[in-house]
Amino acid sequence: MSDLTAHTIKITGHEGADIEAYVASPDAGGHRGGVIVIHHMPGYDRATKEIGRRFAELGYNTIVPNLYWREAPGADPGDAAATVRAQGGVPDSRLIGDVAGASSYLRALATSNGKVGVIGYCSGGRQSVLAACNLDLDAAVDCYGAFVTGTPPDGFPLQVTNLVSQLANLRAPLLGLFGLEDKFPGPEQVAELEQILTEHDKQFEFHSYEGAGHAFFSVDRPSYNVAAANDGWEKIGAFYAKHLGA
């Protein structure tokens, strides 16, 4: 297990705005890939920062941007998530700008090998795919992101569209990790995504776990599924080693 250092910084996000981010990196020298962790809908919380530190322990420069910073700077993660949800969620254009800022930060590090991957959980899974359709990233991981395909609910304050029209522009290999018991995304939506990516001749690798529902990586929630999470971490490790390695 490698030693690491983690701290909170400000980065330049969408339209030049400063946003908060949590960064973690191995203490060892050398050059390495970077990972952007997109937090789940419940926000920039302790569990997401733990995920960031795990990627540093795995040997990557890691950044977790606080996507709710603008609406709720310094707020408790739950309060920030509630505020952003009530205001309609994070606009896609802003997400792309913030991930671009996080990517620039990682690539500018003296220890960067120039490669950057993205991973997102829950709503962040969809946002990971969104980022990989619009930015030059080297690998993307979608952990049970709803509404990459499928039809979102209509007429409510939280607006989200599917990404079907953007999937032809996917620029990075995609690893998808899903629970067969999940409803959003359900197996039929995962199958639709698989079909579309195949039609567009995209590079992807999907794994759907029996007995696992949504949020099976969440160690602090009842949805945590040890078998699915352990295998998922192995799949992520191999995927990033292949695409983000020197």
Per CB under 8 A, does 238 bind other proteins? no
Single out the segment in contact with other proteins by CB under 8 A; choices: 75-83, 129-137, 167-175, 231-239. Answer: 75-83
Among 1, 108, 222, 246, contact with other proteins (rule: CB under 8 A)? 222
**C-alpha span between 167 and 161 (Å, rounded):** 13
Q: List CB contacts of 38: < 8 A, sequence separation 6 or more.
A: 65, 67, 95, 99, 118, 119, 120, 121, 124, 127, 128, 131
Among 146, 163, 175, 228, binds other proteins (CB under 8 A): 146
Q: Is 230 exposed, middle or buried (0-12, 13-18, 19+ CB in 10 A)?
A: exposed
Contact status: 82 vs other proteins (CB under 8 A): yes
Q: Is 221 in the site for other proteins (CB under 8 A)?
A: yes
213 binds other proteins (CB under 8 A): yes
Is 109 near other proteins (CB under 8 A)?
A: no
Please report how close the Cβ of residue 120 comes to other proteins at its closest, in angstroms. Answer: 12
Q: What is the rounded CA–CA span in Å between residue 78 and residue 80?
A: 5
Q: Does 200 bind other proteins (CB under 8 A)?
A: no
Of the listed pieces 11-19, 101-109, 191-199, 214-222, which binds other proteins according to CB under 8 A? 214-222
Residue 180 found at the interface with other proteins (CB under 8 A): no
Q: Which of 115/214 has CB closer to other proteins?
A: 214
Q: Which two tokens stand for residue 113?
A: 């090998």
- Cα separation values, 238 from 124, 129, 162, 232, 243, Å: 21, 19, 28, 10, 9
Q: Which is nearer to other proteins, 183 or 207 (CB)?
A: 183
Structure tokens at 186: 């359900």
Distance of CA 128 to the CA centre of its chain: 5
**Cβ 195 to other proteins, closest distance in Å?**
21
Smallest distance from other proteins to CB 122, Å: 5
The distance of closest approach from Cβ of residue 77 to other proteins in the complex, given in angstroms and rounded to an integer, is 8
Binding residue for other proteins (CB under 8 A) from 86, 168, 227, 241? Answer: 86
SS3 196: helix
Report the b/e string of 12-50 with b at 16+ CB within 10 A.
bbbeeeebbbbbbbbeeeeebbbbbbbbbbbbbbebbbe
Binding residue for other proteins (CB under 8 A) from 6, 158, 164, 180?
158
Which amino acid type is present at position 63?
I
What is the binding site for other proteins (CB under 8 A)?
Answer: 40-42, 71-72, 75-76, 78-83, 85-86, 89, 122-123, 146-147, 152-153, 156-158, 160, 182-184, 213-215, 221-223
